[in-house]
């Protein structure tokens, strides 16, 4: 079983459209949507959810009003500025501090230092994850709650569940749709993968961001394949990107032309492979053949 | 006043709008600071080409064990909620990437055997162009804690004149760190199924944070009407629409500013600014009525 992670550095380069196309092209596979704070793969793969479970990535502090003696030691100790007096900061007989759950990082320090034992520390549901069936095979995806953190842990969970399914069913591939950037959720989606496919675009921003992705792949020693999407928008920058990627040890897996069929397929809630067999669809087939050959 | 430019979906045009809005106001004579808070992949510098005058490390506190004092009691490992400390055979192992710098281990160590030392996780660069002040952050490769770097950028931007924040994509911790304490948020999207779905998530986030906001639509004539229907039904104002013009994409690919390469689009950013200012002056509860 091989795990292929598709990331991009820069957002909006066509990652999810290419993952959906790979889903239509690859043989036996499981899918994992690891862009958990803006998951979109389900919009084109139309999954039917067969299992769902709450995800809790950690605990949050909560001040018990009746027990609090308003000594303020929690406020002084919290490094995340998560505890304050909601009403203007004046201490009165009734007024006790409260925890802003959006800023609380669940370190539990306040709970441990509170002299009145007035702070509860409870697991918080940060989102949920789903196991679904699609016409292309099983898919694991998730939804992070509104304004919740812990996306890295949820990414790890989604990947782990997809790998378990692939192993149990003897599938050939796990296709992972990653998130933009190079931080916590991206690192959680690539560590230990067999190969990264980085999808970029021929712009100076795309180039800048891809170079940071290639440094990240190098840092974790994961083989990197590069694809310039919409390459014909600026052929000379496309070439510069490919050259620089090669210099940094990446392989160029293909180019996909600018084609409005990609957006039209998305609007029709399908993959571009099924939408047409011309243009970008053809380029993505060639790209998939190169990715498969590289494994 | 602080205005954050954010979006659920990446690649919808945050940087385009942040830089063009900032420069057009600066050229109109206003005092502007552009703060690039997309510290994983900062791109504003490509378009504004600022002259960087200072570059400083962003550090977090990480625990360090003073071996002579450590008794191997294991309390530090027990109190760390992030699994950044493991105590095996009375030996303390620290995994600095997982550390959130909460201070629990050093504060609760009964032997005072843990001190905190700074660890670099990124850099912050300050500079300017002929017209505006500029600050950006860069997360080091392999680091997880982008919110720390974002926080530093936001604080360094100060509050002289207007600050325009270019936020990272998404809806979780880094975005919240970038948009919090803003006076107004512009959510950028595009009329595609991905754009619409991710906008609904971003709207949930800014509402949860209680921030006033409006929507900007890029590539507005792609032809999916559900997006404007959604905004109508939710009472969300659309304050900027940029058409799908291949010349914009090409100018962007070369790192050029739209207001310079295609000056016919400058009035779009002027009126976007006017709309932001008009809404900002209204108290949040009055916004909707007034606009209606």
pLDDT tens digit sequence for B15-44: 999 999 999 999 999 999 999 999 999 999
User: Is the Cβ–Cβ distance between A10 and A206 less than 8 Å?
Assistant: yes
Q: Which of A124, A148, A177 lies at the terminal end of a domain, its last residue?
A: A124
Q: What ipTM, to 2 d.p.?
A: 0.92
Q: Do A21 and A162 belong together in one domain? A: yes
Q: CB distance from A189 to chain B under 8 Å? A: no
**Cβ–Cβ below 8 Å for A180 and B169:** yes
Distance CA(B252)–CA(B46), nearest Å, equals: 10
- Tens digits of residue pLDDT in B106-158: 999 999 999 999 999 999 999 999 999 999 999 999 998 899 999 999 999 99
Q: Which residue has the tokens 């690859």?
A: A26
> What is the CA B47 to chain-centroid distance, rounded?
17
Distance CA(A126)–CA(A107), nearest Å, equals: 15
Between the CA of residue A134 and those of A28, A42, A45, A277, what are the distances in Å?
12, 9, 6, 21
Can you tell me the mean pLDDT for A116-140? 96
Nearest 10 degrees: Cα torsion A125, A131, A135, A136: 100
Q: Do A29 and A96 belong together in one domain? A: no
* Nearest residue of chain B to residue A185 (CA atoms): B144
Confidence at residue A90, expressed as pLDDT on a 0 to 100 scale: 52
The closest of A27, A19, A6 to A194, measured between CA atoms, is: A6
- Tens digits of residue pLDDT in A74-97: 999 999 999 998 754 455 555 889
Distance CA(A250)–CA(A223), nearest Å, equals: 7
Q: ∠B187-B188-B191 over CA atoms, to 5°? A: 125
Eight-class DSSP state of A153? H
Q: CB distance from A152 to chain B under 8 Å? A: yes
Confidence at residue B287, expressed as pLDDT on a 0 to 100 scale: 47
> Residue B290 — pLDDT band, cuts 50, 70, 90?
very low
Distance CA(B113)–CA(B71), nearest Å, equals: 9
Can you tell me the mean pLDDT for A149-162? 92
B2-58+121-282 carries CATH number 3.40.50.300: yes
Q: How many angstroms away from the CA of B214 is the closest CA of chain A?
A: 18
Q: Tell me the residue range of the domain where A118 lies.
A: 59-124
All residues of chain A having their beta carbon less than 8 Å from the beta carbon of residue B43 are 10, 204-205, 208-209
Distance CA(B233)–CA(B62), nearest Å, equals: 48
Confidence at residue A85, expressed as pLDDT on a 0 to 100 scale: 87
Burial call B5-27: b when 16+ CB within 10 Å, e when fewer: bbbbbbbbbbbbbbbbbbbbbbe
Q: Do A101 and A18 belong together in one domain? A: no
- Tens digits of residue pLDDT in A16-54: 999 999 999 999 999 999 999 899 999 999 999 999 999
Q: Which of A124, A143, A160 lies at the terminal end of a domain, its last residue?
A: A124
> Residue A148 — pLDDT band, cuts 50, 70, 90?
confident
Q: What is the CATH number of domain B67-112?
A: 3.30.70.20
Confidence at residue A95, expressed as pLDDT on a 0 to 100 scale: 80
- Tens digits of residue pLDDT in A193-232: 999 999 999 999 999 999 999 999 999 999 999 999 999 9
Q: Do A42 and A172 belong together in one domain? A: yes
Distance CA(A228)–CA(B14), nearest Å, equals: 21
Confidence at residue B282, expressed as pLDDT on a 0 to 100 scale: 58
Region of B235 on the Ramachandran plot (φ > 0 left; ψ -120 to 50 alpha; else beta)? left
Distance CA(B153)–CA(B178), nearest Å, equals: 9
Confidence at residue A83, expressed as pLDDT on a 0 to 100 scale: 95
Interface of A with B in 12-41 (CB under 8 A): 12-13, 16, 36-38, 40
The closest of B68, B22, B257 to B162, measured between CA atoms, is: B22
DSSP lists the bridge partners of residue B214 as B186
Reply yes or no on whether the pLDDT at B281 is more than 90: no
Q: Whole-number mean pLDDT of chain A? A: 94
Reply yes or no on whether the pLDDT at B292 is more than 50: no
Q: CB distance from B168 to chain A under 8 Å? A: yes
Q: In B129-174, where do the E strands start and end?
A: 133-139, 162-169
- The two tokens of residue A1 are 């079983």
All residues of chain A having their beta carbon less than 8 Å from the beta carbon of residue B8 are 37-38
Q: Which residues have a Cβ under 8 Å from the Cβ of B147 and sit 6 or more positions away?
A: B173, B174, B176, B177
Q: CB distance from B146 to chain A under 8 Å? A: yes
B74: helix, strand or coil: coil
All residues of chain B having their beta carbon less than 8 Å from the beta carbon of residue A182 are 40-41, 139, 141
Q: Which residue has the tokens 């795990």?
A: A3
Q: In chain A, where do the E strands start and end?
A: 2-7, 29-33, 48-55, 58-63, 83-84, 98-99, 119-124, 127-134, 137-144, 173-177, 195-200, 224-229, 251-256
Q: List the CATH number of the domain containing A113.
A: 3.30.70.20
* Nearest residue of chain A to residue B191 (CA atoms): A267
- Tens digits of residue pLDDT in B200-256: 999 999 999 999 999 999 999 987 889 999 999 999 999 999 999 999 999 999 999
Between the CA of residue A84 and those of A62, A70, A99, A102, A255, what are the distances in Å?
12, 11, 7, 13, 53
Q: Which of A124, A151, A177 lies at the terminal end of a domain, its last residue?
A: A124
Distance CA(A125)–CA(B80), nearest Å, equals: 20
Distance CA(B251)–CA(B263), nearest Å, equals: 12
Q: Do A93 and A190 belong together in one domain? A: no
- Tens digits of residue pLDDT in B51-102: 999 999 999 999 999 999 999 999 999 999 999 999 999 999 999 988 999 9
Confidence at residue B288, expressed as pLDDT on a 0 to 100 scale: 47
Distance CA(B15)–CA(B20), nearest Å, equals: 8
Confidence at residue B291, expressed as pLDDT on a 0 to 100 scale: 46
Q: Do A131 and A169 belong together in one domain? A: yes
Q: Do A34 and A166 belong together in one domain? A: yes
Reply yes or no on whether the pLDDT at A154 is more than 80: yes
Q: Do A149 and A111 belong together in one domain? A: no
Q: Which residue has the tokens 């720390």?
A: B148
Q: Do A64 and A107 belong together in one domain? A: yes
Eight-class DSSP state of A115? T
DSSP lists the bridge partners of residue A84 as A98
Distance CA(B82)–CA(B78), nearest Å, equals: 10
Q: Whole-number mean pLDDT of chain B? A: 94
Distance CA(B178)–CA(B75), nearest Å, equals: 34
Number of domains in chain A: 2
All residues of chain A having their beta carbon less than 8 Å from the beta carbon of residue B169 are 11-12, 38, 180-181
Q: Do A32 and A163 belong together in one domain? A: yes
Q: Do A106 and A238 belong together in one domain? A: no
Domain residue spans of chain B: 2-58+121-282, 67-112
DSSP lists the bridge partners of residue A176 as A5, A32
Confidence at residue B160, expressed as pLDDT on a 0 to 100 scale: 83
Q: Do A130 and A120 belong together in one domain? A: no
User: Is the Cβ–Cβ distance between B42 and B284 less than 8 Å?
Assistant: no
B198 → closest Cβ in A38, A187, A209: A38
């Amino acid at each position: 079983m091989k795990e292929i992670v598709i990331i991009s550095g820069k957002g909006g380069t066509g990652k999810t459209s290419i993952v959906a196309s790979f889903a239509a092209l690859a043989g036996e596979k499981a899918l994992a949507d690891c862009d958990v704070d803006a998951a979109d793969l389900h919009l084109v793969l139309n999954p039917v959810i067969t299992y769902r479970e709450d995800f809790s990535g950690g605990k949050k502090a909560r001040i018990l009003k009746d027990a609090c003696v308003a000594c303020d030691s929690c406020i002084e100790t919290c490094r995340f500025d998560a505890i304050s007096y909601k009403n203007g900061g004046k201490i009165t007989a009734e007024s006790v501090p409260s925890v802003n759950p959006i800023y609380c990082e669940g370190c539990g320090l306040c709970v441990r230092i509170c002299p009145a034992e007035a702070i509860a520390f409870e697991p918080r549901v940060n989102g949920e994850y789903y196991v679904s069936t699609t016409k292309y095979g099983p898919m694991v995806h998730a939804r992070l709650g509104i304004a919740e953190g812990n996306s890295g842990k949820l990414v790890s969970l989604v990947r782990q569940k997809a790998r378990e399914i692939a192993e149990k069913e003897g599938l050939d591939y796990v296709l992972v749709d990653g998130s933009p950037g190079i931080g916590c959720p991206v690192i959680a989606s690539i560590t230990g993968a067999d190969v990264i496919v980085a999808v970029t675009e021929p712009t100076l921003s795309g180039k800048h961001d891809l170079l940071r992705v290639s440094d990240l792949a190098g840092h974790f020693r994961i083989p990197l394949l590069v694809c310039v999407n919409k390459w014909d928008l600026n052929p000379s920058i496309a070439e510069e990107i490919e050259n620089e990627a090669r210099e940094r040890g990446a392989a160029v897996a293909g180019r996909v032309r600018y084609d409005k069929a990609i957006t039209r397929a998305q609007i029709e809630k399908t993959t571009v492979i099924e939408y047409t067999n011309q243009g970008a669809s053809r380029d993505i087939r060639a790209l998939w053949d190169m990715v498969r050959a590289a494994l | 006043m602080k205005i954050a430019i954010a979006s659920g979906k990446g690649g919808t045009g945050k940087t385009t709008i942040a830089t063009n809005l900032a420069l057009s106001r600066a050229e109109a004579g206003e005092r502007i600071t552009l703060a690039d808070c997309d510290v994983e992949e900062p791109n504003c510098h490509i378009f504004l080409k600022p002259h960087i005058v200072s570059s400083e490390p962003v550090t977090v506190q990480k625990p360090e064990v003073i071996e002579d004092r450590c008794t191997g009691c294991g309390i530090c490992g027990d109190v760390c909620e992030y699994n950044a400390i493991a105590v095996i055979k009375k030996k303390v192992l620290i995994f600095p990437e997982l550390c959130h710098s909460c201070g629990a281990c050093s504060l609760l160590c009964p032997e005072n055997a843990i001190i905190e030392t700074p660890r670099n996780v990124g850099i912050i660069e300050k500079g300017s162009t002929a017209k505006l002040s500029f600050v950006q952050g860069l997360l080091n490769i392999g680091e997880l804690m982008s919110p720390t770097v974002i926080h530093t950028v936001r604080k360094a931007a100060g509050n002289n004149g207007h600050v325009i924040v270019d936020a990272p994509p998404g809806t979780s911790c880094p975005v919240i760190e970038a948009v919090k304490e803003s006076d107004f948020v512009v959510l950028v999207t595009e009329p595609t199924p991905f754009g619409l779905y991710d906008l609904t998530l971003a709207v949930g986030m800014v509402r949860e944070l209680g921030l006033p906001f409006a929507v900007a639509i890029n590539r507005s004539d792609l032809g999916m009407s559900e997006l404007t229907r959604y905004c109508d039904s939710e009472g969300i104002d659309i304050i900027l629409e940029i058409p799908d013009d291949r010349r914009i994409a090409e100018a962007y690919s070369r790192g050029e500013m739209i207001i310079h390469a295609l000056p016919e689009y400058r009035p779009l950013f002027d009126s976007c600014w006017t709309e932001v200012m008009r809404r900002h002056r209204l108290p949040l509860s009055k916004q909707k009525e007034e606009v209606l």
